Structures are given as structure tokens and as C-alpha cells.
Amino acid sequence: MNKYTTAQILAAWDAAYGEDMMVEYPGFFQRLTEENASQAGDPGKSTDRTQTGARAEEEGPVAGNTYALTGARGTKCIANGNSWKDSLVEENN
């Protein structure tokens, strides 16, 4: 698995979409920072900030599942502050 730095992600996003992720998706990197800090103490857990600002323990992403990392305003995705569970992409068969 390849790992990328925040700077590499920001540069790739800007090159591909012409957007500044820090402006367009302000909650995305904040959430990543919070989860990385949380996982440093307990690798199996992540910290979720709900819409009311309260913290709740939540399981992180599950291998093999697909999650919406970004999306339009109001959609359920990680960048909009939703949980991994709420950002799960359901497959329509």
C-alpha cells in the first residue's frame, strides 16, 4: 500500500481538479488529523465529531468497503464531517 503525505495529496488534488482542498473541504484534513492522533493512542479506534460537536468513539473504516471521502455539500461523506458508517457507499445490484 502506498502512503502519501498531506502535501502530496494537496498537490495532486490541485493538479487534477484545480481546487484548494483546504478551502473546498475544510473538515477533511481536520478529521484526518484528529483520527491520526486518536489512532496513535489506540490503533483500532477513531474519534468522530458529530454535527453537535460532541465526541463519540466509532470504529474506523472496514477493509473491502467503499466510503465516500468527498462529495457535494449536504451529502454523506467524510469531508462533510460524517462518520465512516454514514459514509459507506452502498452497492446497487
Distance from C-alpha of 31 to C-alpha of 88, rounded to nearest angstrom:
16
Q: What is the mean pLDDT of residues 83-92?
A: 87
The total number of structural domains in the chain stands at: 1
Dihedral sign from CA coordinates of 23, 24, 30, 33: negative
Which residues form the domain of 17? Answer: 6-80
- What is the structure's pLDDT at 47? 46
- The answer to whether residue 17 is domain-embedded is yes
- The answer to whether residue 87 is domain-embedded is no
- The answer to whether residue 85 is domain-embedded is no
Tell me the average pLDDT of the chain.
76
- What is the structure's pLDDT at 3? 77
- The answer to whether residue 89 is domain-embedded is no
| 63: Cβ contacts below 8 Å, ≥ 6 apart | none
pLDDT digits (tens, 9 = 90+) for 15-51: 988 988 888 887 887 787 777 777 666 555 444 444 4
pTM of structure: 0.40
* 88-93, Cβ contacts within 8 angstroms, sequence gap of 24 or more: 89/65, 91/66
Is the predicted pLDDT of residue 83 greater than 60, yes or no? yes
